[in-house]
Amino acid sequence: MPHRSVLVVGTFREETSQRVREASAAAGVTAEFHARCEDAVAPLGVASPLAVVVRMDAPGAADLCAHVRTQARLADVPVFGVAAERSDIAFTELFSWGGDDLVSLWSPQPLTRRLRPLVGRTSAPRGEGQGCAVVAGADARWRSVMGRALYSGGFSVRFVSTGADLLTDSLGPAVRLVVAADDVAQEGAAACAVRARASGSEAAWVVVVPPKRMAAATSAARTLSRVSIADGFAPPENVLFLANELLGRRGEDKRASARLLYGTTVAFRAAGRDEDEIGFSYNVSVGGVYVRSLAPLDQGQDVWLEMWAPRAERRVRLAGTVAWKRPFGSGERATVPAGFGVKITDGLGGDLERWLHGYGAFSESLLGARAPAPSAPEV
């Protein structure tokens, strides 16, 4: 196996750097440190590191992430962010840069848990089982980050930067999906979708707009089928969820309640363990939650969770069992980013009831119908 290292970028205290070295050694690799983001660019051009660890407050951190994401050969190199606080804002910001997970460096273990599964991993073949997707937007960084999210979900990806090119490329018979940023054309991406449909486009469309534009975009596309409007401030992997909804879910979806996009920090630990890990929720159902993390628990493990329930005024503590997990890397038909799905089985002091009530209110606000309470939670 070729020798590989972890590229660590930013200024750290010596004791923190030592913990990174210990974490890397425990995974069987070395750590290569660069104080400045611009100094890390040259090594990335020579070899592919096992992972990149970057301080999010380092000057140029977002540009470094963008550089990694524009390199196709680095698509399966994870980027870990280090932030003062692992909050909703920090997670969402890192995801918007093309990063994959926040990691604590207060001890070596969190980083070791993320690195070990990467060491024995072999490069997966290029996944294109979902067909061709066109990613359209004026901003090159946004296109790269969005393209990588779709590539990891099994799409082949083509990029365009203007409304004219978007209208032409969306008509291709092989195109199954179009993801368009609102800035791709002066009239907005929703108007492009209307024109493309009138010209014969049969692809599913996800139009990504700033929150203040969502109502207008929804109104513009209201007569079109297989079109979703996505929040431009949300993680790019949310578009993968919407794309799979539009294109039809396969196989595993036998839920009595809808899966709904819902992002918030989740403290989780294997039942009985001493310390929490921090992940970020991806979607929820009435009896389950999918947690984004590159330190997933194993299928069958009992797990304790603490998080904000949808439409709730307080955090809830829940117990469950890991129903399945998805390792990091590109997948032929991956429907979710790396992480694990939890079947909720219980709650502390009425928290299960609070979860069910919150999910019901959330479902009603999004779908217009309150979810029926099941006799037993399901994933």
Q: What is the mean pLDDT of residues 40-52?
A: 92
Asked whether the predicted pLDDT for residue 179 surpasses 80, the reply is yes
Pick 294 or 335 by higher pLDDT. Answer: 294
CB of 133 closer than 8 Å to CB of 175: yes
Structure confidence at residue 72 as a pLDDT band (50, 70, 90): confident
Residue 355 contacts residue 311 (beta carbons within 8 Å): no
**Which pLDDT belongs to residue 375?**
47
Find which of 122-126, 253-257, 260-264 is predicted with most confidence, using mean pLDDT: 260-264
Q: What is the pLDDT of residue 30?
A: 96
Predicted local distance difference test score (pLDDT) of residue 379 = 42
Give the burial string for 260-278 (b: 16+ CB within 10 Å, else e).
Answer: bbbbbbbbbeeeeeeeebb
Q: 117 CB contacts (<8 Å, ≥6 apart)?
A: 294, 327, 328
> What are 217's two structure tokens?
């975009």
Would the CA dihedral through 144, 226, 195, 203 be positive or negative? positive
Question: What pLDDT, on a 0 to 100 scale, did the predictor assign at position 47?
Answer: 86
Q: What is the 3-state secondary structure (H, E, C) of the chain?
A: CCCCEEEEECCCCHHHHHHHHHHHHHCCCEEEEECCHHHHHHHHHHCCCCEEEEECCCCCHHHHHHHHHHCHHHCCCCEEEECCCCCHHHHHHHHHHCCCEECCCCCCHHHHHHHHHHHCCCCCCCCCCCEEEEEECCCHHHHHHHHHHHHHCCEEEEEECCHHHHHHHCCCCCEEEEEEEHHHCCCCHHHHHHHHHHCCCCCEEEEEECHHHHHHHHHHCCCCCCEEEEECCCCCHHHHHHHHHHHCCCCCCCCCCCCEECCCEEEEEECCCCCCEEEEEEEEECCEEEEECCCCCCCCCEEEEEEECCCCCCEEEEEEEEEEEECCCCCCCCCCCCEEEEEEEEECCCHHHHHHHHHHHHHHHHHCCCCCCCCCCCC
Mean pLDDT of 25-40: 96
Q: What is the pLDDT of residue 373?
A: 53
Confidence of residue 44 (pLDDT cuts 50, 70, 90): very high
pLDDT at 156: 92
pLDDT for residue 1 is more than 80: no
Mean residue pLDDT of the chain comes to: 91
pLDDT at 248: 83
pLDDT given at position 378: 46
Distances (CA, A) of 56 to 20, 47, 59, 272, 341: 16, 23, 8, 32, 28
Domains of the chain from N-terminus onward: 5-119 (3.40.50.2300), 131-247 (3.40.50.2300), 260-367 (2.40.10.220)
- Looking at the predicted structure, is the pLDDT value of residue 256 above 80? no
Q: Where is pLDDT greater, at 367 or 372?
A: 367
Give the mean model confidence (pLDDT) for residues 300-327. 95
Q: Which of 188-197, 246-255, 267-276 has the lowest mean pLDDT?
A: 246-255
* pLDDT of 103: 97
Separation between Cα atoms, residue 35 and residue 255, nearest integer Å: 48
- Comparing 134 with 375, which gets the higher pLDDT? 134
- Average pLDDT, stretch 280-289? 96
Looking at residue 129, what is its pLDDT? 78
pLDDT at 251 over 60: no
Q: pLDDT tens digit string along 112-145?
A: 999 999 997 765 555 567 899 999 999 999 999 9
Strands 227-231, 204-209: pairing is parallel
